[in-house]
Structure 1
């Protein structure tokens, strides 16, 4: 089963790209333009990004964009509860691939906090986020189980984390079948952004998105809670799918 733009909820946009390189370059240009618009409008801008392997090319393309990075704040939509010097850290990934060159002038806000428990760490992040502005641009990814950020299907606290309204900004989450506890921003906080993007690569994730739309339950498919305006979905085939046979 595949998905096309008419099958999406009203107001959600769909953009196809020939391959990962084009997706990374064009998404970086669009995000940079949206950040520049925020800078012109209010003097500062806030970007929240996802971790994992998929966004590396996007990060590197974005790092070269000619922005006044000194007025840009960058944060994460989620993080594994590990110190930044660990290989699994999303913050480390951002520092290696995005906060380079001119983009190193941006202010980075990581989510990891050393605390006695995961819940205590989430409470510290919650207090820290209270002093920051709402995001201007959010870039999400999606797993093959339909999760986004660290909002995994079937996990305790998911309903609260996906609620349309609420004061919570950060929640403690446990990812099934992976070794690390997580910290994740909530849907209510992320949805404050006037610009939101979902980057997907490969036919398998396109099919997962179609299955989620057919299933209709955000507790089974958390990505469903984000499929509403102003979201734009950016899809491309994987490098293997576009490689000549």
Structure 2
């Protein structure tokens, strides 16, 4: 099965690439163009990305793209509630793989906050995001095999509130039910406000997940809430 075989909504664009390396480079160039346009038109730009191992090649390719990175703010769609020195920290991942080379001048607005509870940490992260340029200029999401994106996990206690299109919170505490771990996620209204929205996925399993999500509700597979314009999907086998 290929991405072209999926019955995606007509307004959702998709591109396929022969391998992960070509997709990472194409994605980096697409994101860099969008950021450069935003800087030229608005004097600044905001980029929100997801963590994990899959986007590392994209981060490293993007870090070498030439644009006025000093005018770009970078943040995360979600974060594990750990210290930035922890190997599981998404902020640590960005520092190692994106905020280097030309992109070393970008401003990082992380979500990890020292606090007495996860609720307090999420509230403080939301306050910190008041300095992020909004609407977000460029959003790059990933997707898990359970249909989660960011840390919007099926069966997580706060999912309904996090997916509420009329919600006012920028961040909420979340749990990954299959591997309980405290997390902070940007909420749906903040994420879906992005002018450029890209979903980056790899492999046939992710296509099957996406196909399943098309026939389900967002509470069952949260990625379903994003499958509309202006989403672009980048895929490779």
TM-score (normalizing by structure 2): 0.96
State the SS of the aligned residue for 2:131.
coil
* Structure 2 counterpart of 1:156: 157
Please show how residues 1-245 of structure 1 align to structure 2 within 5 Å: 3-4=3-4, 7-134=7-134, 135-214=136-215, 216-237=216-237
How far residue 189 of structure 1 moved from its aligned partner, in angstroms, is 0.4
Distance change (3 Å), C-alpha of 1:34 and 1:3: closer
How far residue 9 of structure 1 moved from its aligned partner, in angstroms, is 1.6
8 Å CA contact 2:109–2:128 kept in 1: the answer is no
| CA deviation vs aligned residue, 1:55-84 (integer Å, no higher than 9, x gap) | 000000000100111111000000000000
Distance change (3 Å), C-alpha of 1:167 and 1:5: farther
8 Å CA contact 1:2–1:207 kept in 2: the answer is no
Please give the alpha-carbon distance, in whole angstroms, between the structure 2 residues aligned to 1:164 and 1:10.
22
Distance change (3 Å), C-alpha of 1:70 and 1:3: closer
How far residue 2 of structure 1 moved from its aligned partner, in angstroms, is 6.0
8 Å CA contact 2:48–2:76 kept in 1: the answer is yes
State the SS of the aligned residue for 2:155.
coil
Stretches of structure 2 that go unaligned for 5 or more consecutive residues are: none
| CA deviation vs aligned residue, 1:9-31 (integer Å, no higher than 9, x gap) | 23111111111011000000000
Distance change (3 Å), C-alpha of 1:109 and 1:46: same
RMSD of Structure 2 on Structure 1 (CA): 1.2
Aligned length in residues: 236
Please give the alpha-carbon distance, in whole angstroms, between the structure 2 residues aligned to 1:184 and 1:108.
16
State the SS of the aligned residue for 2:220.
coil
TM-score (normalizing by structure 1): 0.93
